[in-house]
Chains A and B, each alone.
Chain A
Amino acid sequence: MSSAARYSSCTSPAGIKRSARAALVSLALLAIVAMPTLAAEQIDMDAEVRDLKADVLDLNRELFLLEEELLFPANTQVAVYLSMDTGNFFQLDSVQVTIDDRDVAKYLYTEREVEALHRGGVHRVFMGNLKAGDHEMVAVFTGRGPHGRDYRRATALSFEKALGARFLELVISDSDASLQPDFRVQEWNGD
């Protein structure tokens, strides 16, 4: 029965039943009309996108390496990272890093980024070049401390930069003894 005949003035019970069935078939078909062929094409398209992703990622890795080797040679490279332990006593908003009294990084964190830090992620705040010798880094953290109060704390580190990359990790953790956040710097050698 064609859909055009469905709502004709047929009044016999059998006709009505047939009409009802036709309506059901019509509704059921609505969900899949015109899609199967295109769905197959989309599957083919998905495969093409997958291949592209793989190739672009390979290229991205090469470019990442090229960029770091060119801009931050291993002999002069210095990087500052930030990580959080539990962070119950401190809700991080931003961090500002100065090295030898020069501002090198200022970063404002989103909730999503802070959540990633809480789960064990480590954020690279800064990467740059420093000559061999003595240097001083100061990091200023702002956020909300215990009881939701505004909180601003700084931590400093004097360090010697020798030949080879140098990594500094700003670690925010909870001090269970003082019920306050604790800020410290951990040094890593890059070689």
Chain B
Amino acid sequence: MRMRAPQKTGMSATLALVALLQVAGTSAAPPAAQDLAWGEALYYFYQQDYIPAITRLQVARTRQELAYHDQESELVLGGLMLGYGMHRRAETVFQALLDSHPRPSVRDQAWYFLAQARFQRGLSEEALAALARVGDDLPGRLEPERIDLEARALLAVDRPAQAAELLTDHELPGGWRFYGDYNLGISLTRAGSESEGDAILDSLGRATVTGAELASLRDRANLALGYARLSREDAAGARQAFDRVRLNGPFSNRALLGAGWADSTRGDFAAALGPWAELGGRDPLDAAVQESLIALPYAYVQLGTPGRAVDGYEQAVTGYEHELDRLQLAMETVSGGSLATSLRASEYQGNVGDAAFGRYLYALMARDVFRQSVNGLRDLDELDALLAGWQDSAEAFTAMLQARRDRFGSSRNPVMAAVDHQRLEELEGRYAGLSDQTAAARVNRDVLALADSHERQLLARIDALESVADPSGAEAARLHRLRGVIYWNANAAFPARLRTAEKSLRITEESLLAARQKMQRIETADAEAPRSFDEFEDRISSATDQIAAMRARVARATERQAGLLEQLAIGELQARHDRVSAYLTQARFALAASYDRATLAEVGQ
């Protein structure tokens, strides 16, 4: 059987979910962001920077900035919350929206990815609940992954019989079969159908595979098979399975220890020396390696070579004592409260160099519950850093607002404002007078009302001359004709003058209106500014209180989380300590027995 690793979705469940929702958006949006705020949220999301991504999207929704992406924004917000570990809120969003989504395939895929995200966070029962919502419209390419996920979730909640039934009913295609059969073998074995499980694991353990992923899975199959056979006292079969585990893989130490035990179970202690001696040169932190320290001299005892056994036990005693000293120091260091500090210094990766417990921390980080706890600490630290930043900003806001208030107070001059107001009223009065005069001239066709200044001067002179001239004389007649000429000219120019005058009045009216509006805006701003300052002051004050209260909550949670981490670390270190202590006791006992035998042998001689 030659197998290749199956093609998986290749991204986190959250990313897959968001990608799905983007593609499935009913707006058929092109790849480019149609709303800047949407693009900004995606910019942070693609960097897995969840806090600004969620905040930007929430703000955009509040401000109604998403004209094109509003429909999908809530779903994506749910995806972002899921990615940030806010399962409950995310699920509320999904349940409300997905139930009514028009495309069943989108609904099924969303529930599937939600299940995947839950399982990745160790919420196996919740993952099964989400899988139960997946209908018949899941795309075919995801079906093998769904079966695989459901089987692993069932195994995680200790329902191996159901997992076996599921995997028996569904034959997985291609490389997925390898995973399916592995889980089926484990499920059957755990469910009590040992011979069936053995056959499946044995077949997998002999398979020819390509790639590191499947090679590792094959090692796991052989390791599980070896220990299962050993527990059934099938030592020869166990040895065969252990022998198939690669010597450089992650399961090799446990396989070597098991191989030695398979040999010793058959009474072949000479054969057991090989795998146990090989373990002696490996990682001293590994449990199998530590156990081999005492297993090896034990084999020498059984082989009747007490001298080598004594050497081996002495080395084991020394090694265990040193290990116990290191463990004790590590426990004291952790109890001293420096675990959280060291984790922060290592950016939550656990590689803390020469710290007393650094060598154990790396192993601890491999434990799900510990890593989950470290992630909790990291998230809380991130929240506190965010709030600390806002605390500084809030102080700056307060100072800035005070400066604005001061500047507003000093720049505002009530006397000048009153003068401007009075002047505008005068101009408006003059405009009203001119407007009335022009209207009267139009109604009465008072052509002289629009006479120009030259005509007005001439008319004034005619008036003056007429007052002294003989009314019946020739001079009066000339003055009368002259007045007639002026009237004639004014009458001829009247329509044009009226248009010009009315146009000028309209322009004046617009200018006065603009000036009036501007003055009103200034007055409104003058009146509103203090109120606006007060509103901002209230908001800043309220925010400052909330930030302080929130930081206190975060600090309490951080303390609790750090305490929990300490307990986990101490528990793990103590367990190691207990185990090594037990080995040490056995080694000392066996060493004393070996000395006794040697002494008795000397006495006998």
Binding site for B on A (CB under 8 A): 3-9, 11, 13, 16-17, 19-21, 23-24, 26-28, 30, 33-35, 38-39, 41-43, 45-46, 48-50, 52-57, 59-67, 69-71, 81, 83, 85, 112-113, 115-117, 119-124, 167, 169, 188
Contacts and interface: CB of A to CB of B under 8 A. Distances in A.
Main secondary structure of the interface of A (DSSP, over half): helix
A120 B33 CA distance: 6
Main secondary structure of the interface of B (DSSP, over half): helix
Interface string B51-87: 1001100110010000000000000000000001111
B554 A45 contact: no
B89 A122 contact: no
A57 to B, nearest CB: 6
Interface string B503-532: 000000000000000000000000000000
Nearest to A23: B261
Contacts of A167: 36
A64 B389 CA distance: 12
Contact of A61 (B39, B58, B380, B547): B58
17 contacts: A3-B583, A8-B589, A17-B265, A21-B231, A26-B291, A27-B254, A38-B568, A41-B564, A46-B376, A48-B557, A49-B380, A53-B86, A53-B379, A59-B546, A65-B59, A66-B539, A122-B42
B267 interface: yes
Given A16-B264, A61-B55, A113-B47, A34 B42 contact: no
Nearest to B316: A7
A113 B44 CA distance: 8
A25 to B, nearest CB: 9
A4 B585 contact: yes
Contacts of A66: 397, 536, 539-540, 543
B87 A169 contact: no
B59 A61 contact: yes
A58 B380 CA distance: 16
B329 interface: no
Contacts of A57: 51, 54-55, 58, 86
Contacts of A67: 393, 397
A123 B39 CA distance: 8
Given A13-B267, A60-B390, A64-B59, A188 B36 contact: yes
A156 B38 CA distance: 25
Given A57-B54, A116-B47, A83 B373 contact: no
B355 interface: no
B129 interface: no
B32 interface: yes
Interface of B: 31-33, 36, 38-40, 42-47, 51, 54-55, 58-59, 62, 84-89, 122, 227, 230-231, 233, 235, 254, 257-258, 261-262, 264-265, 267, 287-288, 291, 294-295, 298, 301-302, 367, 369, 372-373, 376, 379-380, 383, 386-387, 390, 393-394, 397, 400-401, 536, 539-540, 543, 546-547, 550, 553-554, 557, 560-561, 564, 567-568, 571-572, 574-575, 579, 582-583, 585-587, 589-590, 593
B553 A52 contact: yes
A52 B230 CA distance: 49
Given A9-B593, A38-B564, A56-B386, A49 B89 contact: no
B42 A70 contact: no
A4 B586 contact: yes
A117 B43 contact: yes
A169 to B, nearest CB: 7
Contacts of B85: 46, 49-50, 53
B227 A24 contact: yes
A97 B13 CA distance: 38
Contact of A42 (B376, B390, B550, B574): B376
Given A56-B383, A59-B387, A63-B543, 16 more contacts: A3-B582, A4-B585, A24-B230, A26-B579, A27-B287, A42-B564, A52-B550, A53-B379, A63-B393, A67-B397, A119-B42, A121-B44, A121-B46, A122-B42, A122-B43, A124-B36
